[in-house]
Chain A
Amino acid sequence: MPKIAIDPITRIEGHLRIEAQVEGGKIKDAWSAGTMWRGIELIVRNRDPREVWAFLSRI
């Protein structure tokens, strides 16, 4: 019963990893893991609300 790990699955917001348990030719269970820290919420703290869109729309 192999376990599969797909890593990384890159995407605009970061990276993704999938782990899956395979049994009898079918996936029995799966796990999805974001493998990158984003933290953009912390970057905009204490900034002028009129300029934060320019940071946040980069997500």
Chain B
Amino acid sequence: MRAVENALGITIPDNARIIRNLISGIQYVQDHVIHFYHLHALDWVDVVSALKADPNKTAALAQSLSDWPNATPSYFKTVQGKVKTLVESGQLGIFANGYWGHPAYKLPPEANLMAVAHYLEALDWQRDVIRMHALLGAKNPHPQTFLVGGMSVPVDPNSQNALNAGSLALLQSLSKKALEFVQKVYIPDLLAVASFYKEWASIGGGVGNYLSYGEFPNDNLSNTKNCWLPAGFIRNKNLSKVEPVDHMKVTEDAAHAWYKYSDGDDKAKHPWVGETVPNYTGPKPPYEFLDTNKKYSWVKGIRYDGLSTEVGPLSRMLIAYASGHKRVKEVIDGVLKKLGVGPEALFSTLGRTAARGVETLVTAEMLSVWVGELAAKMKSGDLRIHNGEKWDPSTWPREAKGYGFHEAPRGSLCHWVVIQDGKVANYQCVVPGGWNSSPRDAKGQRGPYEEALVNTPLADPNRPLEVLRTIHSFDPCMACAIHVVDPERKELFKVRAL
């Protein structure tokens, strides 16, 4: 969308910008909470241990952390009963295939029970608050109301067929509900869990280069530099200097990726001249191991200024923190103080997980602000939602090139487009998962996941829970099958992991 708007020089109206901010904003909040409770928490929380918890002590623990109302002994007793029924049935359902009882689990039974209760509550909460996304985007996921030049959802406080005063009231109440859960449940849980796993503040750091394109624009230009969360690049963990972002420094090579470049696979190419010609040279499945000296991935070697670079909430929060973003700085300093660690602790698996929580809180706080902006615009009589000046292809130049930045919940995303004679001539997408999971490049530099895993301790190599902690901290939404094999390549066992 932004790539095409940028290529054609289209500026969108205020209402469209604010609605886009709200759609992205609630997506951050819902995605991050789901990630924490449903994809990541069970790397730290032992569900089976929750059976040993004393509901009275669990209630006392929960009440000491927050004034969230679901914190009575009878409430936790009920949750414990549900877990007990599951475990005794031998069919763990959503909790099946975990590494329960693994020595790397450190939480006391009461903290485990509290986290399991909130895991279940978060399921209900997310279903409700994501209605914001459906109201503005027509559905979730994959909103339908985007349009080159703006949005296709009409705004009019007095119309039954548009986003009206009633919709604004509903958006405001859902914003409140979203923020309350983050403040009273997610953040206290995150801090409580983190305090038992402080050693993870020095594990899983990774490449130390961080990128953000900036998001939540304050003006209507495509790829503006005026964003609520700033753009920037941090090199080698140096928080004293945030470099400006230049999209021309983004390159992809195919040294270890299954593609063929017309002028050599080792060449680092900018996406405008990018090529997408598949060239699978790996083993025929089923196989045990890839030949990692050669090509071994469908992800290209994505680099910024030649460097392997991490994207995502940690990158955004570090860049905001180092740029002096007032609210982000306040919240991060508060978290660091509470955990008794310094800013260097952020360069870690725990830092990645904590930064996601910080981002959720500050973004949830902004939801009602953006709803207020939309209400003020509508009240002022400005109901423009789409700029159609360049809708007709006869208004376009013969050739146009553009790029569109977006900070998705999981990180930096940019699309590059080349338009010729009214059609797309070339298109390249460089997505967050690509940055973080990228393989080695022509120089042999490891990608962010690869680097983050080096030196990770494994208490039990047969059950590599610690690998999941670091990989999940990047938020790649996974349900994986794990095979551990001895040097003679004999399969020792096979397990499925959450």
Please list the residues of chain A having a beta carbon within 8 angstroms of any beta carbon in chain B.
1-14, 16-20, 22, 25-42, 44-50, 52-54, 56-59
Q: Kindly specify which of B106-114, B362-370, B372-380, B472-480 makes contact with the partner chain.
A: B472-480
Separation of A52 and B285 alpha carbons in the complex (Å)? 33
Q: Which residues of B contact A17 (CB under 8 A)?
A: 290
Q: Kindly specify which of B86-94, B296-304, B338-346 makes contact with the partner chain.
A: B296-304
Closest Cβ of chain B to A57, distance in Å, is: 6
Q: Kindly specify which of B42-50, B154-162, B426-434 makes contact with the partner chain.
A: B426-434
Tell me whether A49 and B447 are in contact (CB under 8 A). Answer: no
Whether, in the assembled complex, B52 has its beta carbon less than 8 Å from a beta carbon of chain A, the answer is: no
Whether, in the assembled complex, B334 has its beta carbon less than 8 Å from a beta carbon of chain A, the answer is: no
Contact flags (1/0) for B458-498 with A, using CB distance below 8 Å? 11010010010001000011111111111100001000010
Query: Which A-B residue pairs are the 4 nearest by beta carbons?
Result: A34-B299, A30-B453, A9-B478, A33-B297
A-B interface contact total, Cβ < 8 Å: 186
Closest Cβ of chain B to A15, distance in Å, is: 9
Tell me whether B276 and A33 are in contact (CB under 8 A). Answer: no
CB-contact partner of B471 in A1, A9, A46, under 8 A: A9
CB-contact partner of B146 in A2, A26, A53, A59, under 8 A: A53
Separation of A12 and B479 alpha carbons in the complex (Å)? 12
| B interface residues, how many (CB within 8 angstroms) | 70
Tell me whether B424 and A46 are in contact (CB under 8 A). Answer: yes
Tell me whether A11 and B478 are in contact (CB under 8 A). Answer: yes
A4-B482, A27-B455 known; A32+B298 contact, CB < 8 A:
no
Closest Cβ of chain B to A56, distance in Å, is: 6
For chain B, residues 243 to 292, give those with C-beta under 8 angstroms from any C-beta of chain A: 258, 274, 276, 278, 280, 288-290, 292
CB-contact partner of A31 in B1, B142, B292, B478, under 8 A: B292
Separation of A28 and B455 alpha carbons in the complex (Å)? 6
Closest Cβ of chain A to B189, distance in Å, is: 24
Whether, in the assembled complex, B122 has its beta carbon less than 8 Å from a beta carbon of chain A, the answer is: no
Tell me whether A13 and B455 are in contact (CB under 8 A). Answer: no
Tell me whether B427 and A52 are in contact (CB under 8 A). Answer: yes
Closest Cβ of chain A to B134, distance in Å, is: 16
Tell me whether B439 and A33 are in contact (CB under 8 A). Answer: yes
Tell me whether B297 and A20 are in contact (CB under 8 A). Answer: no
A11-B478, A49-B419 known; A27+B458 contact, CB < 8 A:
yes
Whether, in the assembled complex, B223 has its beta carbon less than 8 Å from a beta carbon of chain A, the answer is: no
Whether, in the assembled complex, B7 has its beta carbon less than 8 Å from a beta carbon of chain A, the answer is: yes
Separation of A7 and B423 alpha carbons in the complex (Å)? 39
Tell me whether A9 and B485 are in contact (CB under 8 A). Answer: no
A34-B297, A49-B148 known; A59+B431 contact, CB < 8 A:
yes
Separation of A51 and B478 alpha carbons in the complex (Å)? 30
A7-B480, A53-B148 known; A35+B298 contact, CB < 8 A:
yes
Q: Which residues of B contact A4 (CB under 8 A)?
A: 461, 464, 467, 482-485
Separation of A31 and B393 alpha carbons in the complex (Å)? 46
Q: List 30 A-B contacts (CB under 8 A).
A: A2-B461, A4-B482, A4-B484, A5-B484, A6-B467, A6-B471, A16-B433, A16-B478, A17-B290, A18-B453, A18-B467, A20-B453, A22-B458, A27-B453, A29-B450, A29-B454, A30-B454, A31-B290, A32-B297, A32-B438, A32-B449, A33-B298, A35-B297, A37-B258, A49-B148, A52-B4, A52-B424, A53-B1, A57-B1, A59-B431
Closest Cβ of chain B to A55, distance in Å, is: 10
Whether, in the assembled complex, B101 has its beta carbon less than 8 Å from a beta carbon of chain A, the answer is: no
Separation of A29 and B297 alpha carbons in the complex (Å)? 16
Closest to B479 in A: A10
A3-B485, A57-B146 known; A45+B433 contact, CB < 8 A:
no
Whether, in the assembled complex, B32 has its beta carbon less than 8 Å from a beta carbon of chain A, the answer is: no
Q: Which residues of B contact A49 (CB under 8 A)?
A: 4, 7-8, 148, 417, 419, 422-424
Tell me whether A57 and B447 are in contact (CB under 8 A). Answer: no
Tell me whether B148 and A33 are in contact (CB under 8 A). Answer: no
Separation of A20 and B456 alpha carbons in the complex (Å)? 10
Whether, in the assembled complex, B81 has its beta carbon less than 8 Å from a beta carbon of chain A, the answer is: no
Q: Which residues of B contact A1 (CB under 8 A)?
A: 487
Tell me whether A2 and B476 are in contact (CB under 8 A). Answer: no
CB-contact partner of B142 in A7, A19, A26, A58, under 8 A: A58
Whether, in the assembled complex, B323 has its beta carbon less than 8 Å from a beta carbon of chain A, the answer is: no
Whether, in the assembled complex, B360 has its beta carbon less than 8 Å from a beta carbon of chain A, the answer is: no
Separation of A38 and B467 alpha carbons in the complex (Å)? 25
Q: Which residues of B contact A12 (CB under 8 A)?
A: 433, 477
CB-contact partner of B481 in A8, A32, A38, under 8 A: A8
CB-contact partner of B4 in A25, A28, A53, A59, under 8 A: A53
Q: Which residues of B contact A14 (CB under 8 A)?
A: 298, 433
Closest Cβ of chain A to B271, distance in Å, is: 9
